[in-house]
Amino acid sequence: MEIVVIWFRRDMRLDDHTALSKAITYAKKHQYPLFAFYHLDPFFTEMELDLNNEHFFQNLAHFVKEARESQVYVHLFHDDVLSAFQQVMDVYDIKAVFFNEDQVGNGHRRDNQVTNFLEEKGIHVSKWQDTHLHGARDILKADGSHYQVFTPYYQSWRKQEKQPVIKVDKTFFSSGHTICNESLSQKGDDKLRGIIKRCARKFDQIGSDKAMNTLHTFIQKRLTHYHKKRDIPSVFGTSKLSRFLKTGTISIRTVFHAINEEALYEDEGRETFIKELAWRDFYHMIFAHYPKMKQKEINPSFEGIKWNEDEALFEAWCKGETGFPLVDAGMRQLNEEGWMHNRLRMVTASFLTKDYLIDWRKGEAYFAKKLVDYDEASNIGGFQWAASVGTDAVPYFRIFNPTTQSKRFDSSGEYIRRYVPELKHVDEKWIHEPSKMPIDEQMKSGCVIGDTYPLPTVDHQERRKKAISLFEEAKGQ
């Protein structure tokens, strides 16, 4: 039987989906049935389960169930990706394969490998840019080179027309047009079921319906004040859409157009949010032009930094036991929820690299395990920004003071108390620097410093001087 394959990946939806829409058009034109395919990569299925991949696999299980109920039987394959495609070819005559491509990282290398494999067998490959508003090579300077500074990139990005929301012909989803071969999917189904059983945490904010509800609630209740409240971690002032964009349960186009069309006038909250979508595209573009940036600093001046290898300090950072309340609250939120407020992502990354002087790569890898909204390009870009080693990064001598950040963005200590229960009864006067509490205050609050809650593990002012010296030494080499 001659078929067309739609290969799902980080695009777990049946709406506003470029490759799916194109595959249906092609299948209708040539009168081929559609075969839906998802590859469970052993690289991810065999790694230790943590918040990031538990969230991802639960989203996948939810999507597969919903798609099958909509008569799109998503077949699961667990094997080397080329072997997985070969299993389909052993049964069917594949005429074309459609998918939304990855333009960066391991996904990009895998896509090239699969494309070469299929094309050598005479199979038509049709890949589309679907994960970003603008692809990695869409926004370039007049001379064809890429931007390295965000502001001019954004000015160009904002002027470019955005692709409209894509209509998917769901009338095509019927037994006559889509293939269901349960025996082919059995091994993959068993593998996914086994992973879901091993998940330690159940996530409820998954799926396209929840994504759309989240978008509409954000527009109705928080968009207008987004620019004022997005930096206050104790307030629910952000969109919480990043986890849905990570799994593709909502399209970036759907988000952009819903936000952009919300107001006919210049609205600061809306514009601030749209700028965040541009940052997402910017770091994606940077990763495409610096494919080694996961391992290597973009700024070559800082490749030789002699990072601190103190494992005890790194462990204290990971657990949220640094003795700096705002840093600890952020890390504990990450460990509990698999998500962290963006202001805290900057604060904790800066603290790791500038106060602890620990390699940014270690922090990036830890976030990769924990964040349910982990986006490789944005996370690497963010850590290189905080560490002052990336493109358009914060200057190395501008170092976040964790106590000042705490007083500015969590003045009453509401966020700190939520995630650091040891400090729950500490007075507002001492909440940002509990180590300065007199002993009678410590006894009164039930928080004995050095026992109930740790003493500061470093002296910020000393570390600030040492960080500047470290960077200047590397720069001078």
Q: What is the DSSP letter of 223?
A: G
Please, which residues have CB within 8 angstroms of residue 226's CB and are 6 or more apart in sequence? 237, 238, 239, 269, 270, 272, 273
Is the pLDDT at 373 greater than 70? The verdict is yes
Edge-to-edge, what's the strand order for the sheet holding 74-78?
Answer: 74-78, 34-40, 2-8, 93-100, 124-128
Taking 3-state DSSP, the helix, strand and coil percentages for the chain, each rounded to the nearest 5, stand at 55, 10, 40
Which percentage of the chain shows pLDDT scores above 90?
A: 96
Which pLDDT score, from 0 to 100, does residue 477 have?
76
Which pLDDT score, from 0 to 100, does residue 266 have?
62
Q: Are 129 and 135 a contacting pair, CB within 8 Å? A: yes
Task: Please state, in angstroms and rounded to a whole number, the distance separating the CA atoms of residues 392 and 369.
Answer: 26
Given pLDDT bands bounded at 50, 70 and 90, which one contains residue 263? Answer: low
Q: What is the DSSP letter of 358?
A: B
Averaged pLDDT, 88-103: 98
Q: Which amino acid is at 397?
A: F
Half-sphere exposure of 212 (CA within 13 A, CB side): 8
Q: Are 465 and 332 a contacting pair, CB within 8 Å? A: no
Averaged pLDDT, 258-272: 81
Is the pLDDT at 177 greater than 70? The verdict is yes
Please, which residues have CB within 8 angstroms of residue 122's CB and are 6 or more apart in sequence? none
Averaged pLDDT, 33-44: 96
Task: Please state, in angstroms and rounded to a whole number, the distance separating the CA atoms of residues 270 and 389.
Answer: 30
Domains of the chain: residue spans and CATH: 2-132+185-198 (3.40.50.620), 300-476 (1.10.579.10)
Q: Which amino acid is at 198?
A: R
Q: Are 58 and 5 a contacting pair, CB within 8 Å? A: no
Q: Are 7 and 75 a contacting pair, CB within 8 Å? A: no
Q: What is the pLDDT of residues 25-35, one digit of tens each?
A: 999 999 999 99
Task: Please state, in angstroms and rounded to a whole number, the distance separating the CA atoms of residues 14 and 5.
Answer: 15
Closest CA to 304 of 126, 65, 476, 98: 476
- Which H or E run includes 226? helix 226-229
Closest CA to 341 of 254, 233, 449, 203: 233
Which pLDDT score, from 0 to 100, does residue 236 have?
93
Task: Please state, in angstroms and rounded to a whole number, the distance separating the CA atoms of residues 58 and 55.
Answer: 5
Given pLDDT bands bounded at 50, 70 and 90, which one contains residue 465? Answer: very high
Task: Please state, in angstroms and rounded to a whole number, the distance separating the CA atoms of residues 139 and 446.
Answer: 56
Is the pLDDT at 130 greater than 90? The verdict is yes
Task: Please state, in angstroms and rounded to a whole number, the distance separating the CA atoms of residues 437 and 427.
Answer: 9
Half-sphere exposure of 45 (CA within 13 A, CB side): 20
Which pLDDT score, from 0 to 100, does residue 468 have?
96
Given pLDDT bands bounded at 50, 70 and 90, which one contains residue 453? Answer: very high
Three-class DSSP category at 99: strand
Is the pLDDT at 265 greater than 60? The verdict is no
Calculate the average pLDDT of the chain: 96
How does DSSP assign 140-187, residue by residue? --TTSPPP-SHHHHHHHHHHSPPPPPPP--GGG-STTTB---HHHHHH
Is the pLDDT at 7 greater than 60? The verdict is yes
Task: Please state, in angstroms and rounded to a whole number, the distance separating the CA atoms of residues 411 and 196.
Answer: 41
Please, which residues have CB within 8 angstroms of residue 190's CB and are 6 or more apart in sequence? none
Which pLDDT score, from 0 to 100, does residue 174 have?
82
